[in-house]
Structure formats: C-alpha cells, structure tokens
Amino acid sequence: MLAFWLAHYGFEVTVIERSPAPRKSGGHAVDLFKPAMDIIEMMGILDHVEAQSAGTEVLSIHREGKRLIDLPEVLVFSAVSERHVEIMRDDLSEILYGASAPGAEYIFGDSITDLADDGAGVRVAFDRASDRRFDLVVGADGLHSHVRGLVFGPESGYSHWLGQYLAVASIPNYLDLSDRALMYPQVDKIAGMYSAAQLSDARAFFLFRTPEPLDYHHRDVGRQKALLGEVYADVGWELPRMLAEIDATDTFYMDSITQLRMDTWSKGRITLVGDAGCCPGPAVGGSTSLAVVGAYVLAGEIAAAAGDHARAYPAYEAALREYVEVSRKLALTASGTLVPKSRLGLCTLVHGARILGHLPSSLTRSLSRLVAARRINIHDTFALRDYQGLISR
C-alpha cells in the first residue's frame, strides 16, 4: 500500500521482504472498512478486491442441543462501517503486490540487520545484500517489528496485552462451509470455522482469555499449538476434530491481542506504519483498515512536504492519532464483548444474538439502513485528505 502511493507521487521505492517470494501463508480473513475501501477505489483496484470477497453472509452461533442462531453479516458490521469488504489476507496481499510492483523495487529473501541515521540519510545493513543508503526508512513489519526494535528498543516498552490471544489455522473444510461462519462461544473463549468462495479448505479461529501471559516465542509454532490444545482440551462441539487437524497443518498463526502505545512513531528519518507503530489489537481493532489509511496518509504527507521528513512525519502522526485512539477504544470494547468473561456475559451475548437473529429480513435491512443514516458507524470517522489535489496546487 505504502509502496503504491509513494511511487504514485514520484518517489523511488524499495521494499524489503524476508520471505523468498510474495507471501501465501494461508492467512485469515481481514476487514476493510469505509476509509480503506475509499482508498482502494482511488487506487483503481476496487473491482479486484470485491471480486475476492470472502462471501460470508451469515454468522451462526452454536449452542449445545439447540438450533443455530443465524445473524446476517450486514447487521453485524453495519454499526462499525457503512462500507465493508471481508477478504482473505493472502488475496489482499496479492492484489496490493500486483498494484505496487510495477513502480517499486522488491527485494525478497532478505532482512534489515542495522540502521544508521546520520541526519542526511540512513545507511541500511542487510542480512544478505550489501549495505545501501536511503533518504527515508519506514518500518511496516507488523506487531513484532524488527525495525521498531532497532530504532526504539524492546517491544516490552510499548506493548500492552489485552489479556487475550488469537489463533487461526487452515484445516480441511469438512463441514462444507461456503457463505456461513460458525462460532461456538464459551466463558473466556470462543472457537469457530469459516471458508470463502475461492478457498478449497477452511479456517479455524480461536479467541481466548488467560489470567497471565502465556510463555512462548511468537515463532515457536509447536509450542503455540500445544498451548492452544491445553486451553480447548475440555471444550466439546467440533474442537476435538479441529485440534487434530491443526496438529497436522503447516499454516498456523497465533499471537497475543496486544496494543502498541507509542508517544511517537518517528525518529529522525525513520518512521513506522500500521501494526509496527500503532497496533490497536489484532482481530478486534480494525488493524488492517488502520494500516491502509496510515500508509495513504504517510505517503500523502511525504509528497505534500516534497520529501521533507521533518514536516511530513509530524503531520502524518497528527492526522492519524485520533483514528488510532478510536480503533484502540473499539478493540477494548470488542475484546470484552466477543469473549464473555462470565456466564452472565455469555447469556447476554447469546440472547442478544438470538433477538437479532429472529428479526425479519426486511426489518434487518431497515435497521442496517437506519444505523448508516444516523452516521454512527465507528470506523467511518476518519476523513481522507485529497493529497493529489493538494500537491497539484
């Protein structure tokens, strides 16, 4: 995203990617809300993104010995954005790579080992390639950003754990899911499955709360799978089959639901974008949309300042800070609602879903339109700036 917009404004862009090729990790579905969708449309790739929509139409909540509670997806998301697409992470990455590759230099299979900012530029040392010099460096390498660690120090100084973990894995679609996502809520944990129109397999997902942080390294997949099995060992439904399939899969992701709270995302000629600088909490805070918006704003401010980082970086942070705070608050609310803390919370979640699920389809559509008309959509609060028009003047 950032590479596309910087190249669009005439800058020479180099992207360093640790994986040997564009990633196809079997990732989970991500949400693009109105501000991000508006940016996607400006890029001319809206049709491609919508064509790869996950196609989930119904969220079904499982209850032991009772009928499923079906919630239309349009109602689930209408309160947070009037415009929304759910897309598999791999599909979005492929589309963005295709859009940005013609205007950027991509270096695969390498990583940054050192950064030296001398005020006039940044010397970048690589694991494999020879050192190179750049005018600006942007860390866009996620929650556990190595760039951030090199510049700002250990992650522990900025991370705030929200008491929960997320896990996602690719497993066979043995329930033949297509347009339906299944969710099984319990106290302090939920589990579920979904697929997508373009997938031959399914995704198993888990959100769970623990009293203390779990002891594991974020790249130790074996340890993560073992911990997940312990958390869900006493849960029925499809969990025995799901956990067995997860033991055999190579596409597995688990991480803490953690917010990054930094006073600034920039130091000298180096800055951060997306989860690397302001992660609101994976799966609960709209981090994908926030990353898209952040990249658009950063590129626009760099262009508006004619490449002067001393003007661009503060403007970027000032423009985005309120949206980051909104996303953080949403994450705190969502983390408490999605994963019930008590039997009462579980009953409230189930009964609320049951009431909404029994609404006639005509009333559901009317309610969605009412929410949009009253403009209370949480993720639609950010007003995009027309940087192209600003630069043209």
Where exactly are the structural domains of the chain? Answer: 2-54+85-157+260-332+367-392
From CA 10, how far away is CA 5, in angstroms rounded? 9
Q: What pLDDT is stored for residue 333 in this prediction?
A: 81
Q: Are 346 and 352 in contact (CB under 8 A)?
A: no
Q: Given this model, what pLDDT does residue 24 score?
A: 74
Dihedral angle computed from the Cα positions of residues 216, 218, 221 and 223, in that order, rounded to the nearest 10 degrees: 0
In this predicted structure, what is the pLDDT of residue 53?
87
Decide: residue 111, CB within 10 A, 0-12 exposed, 13-18 middle, 19+ buried. middle
The pLDDT score that the predictor gives to residue 363 is: 45
The pTM score is 0.89
pLDDT value of residue 78: 55
Query: What per-residue confidence (pLDDT) applies to 374?
Result: 46
The per-residue DSSP string of 291-355 comes to HHHHHHHHHHHHHHTTT-HHHHHHHHHHHHHHHHHHHHHHHHHHHHHHS-SSHHHHHHHHHHHHH
- What's the confidence (pLDDT) of residue 371? 45
Give the β-pairing of 201-209 and 189-194.
antiparallel
Please give the distance of CA 245 from its chain centroid, rounded to a whole number: 25
Third-level CATH fold of 2-54+85-157+260-332+367-392: FAD/NAD(P)-binding domain (3.50.50)
Residue 199 pLDDT: 79
Separation of alpha carbons 301 and 358, rounded Å: 48
Residues with pLDDT less than 50, the chain: 361-376, 393
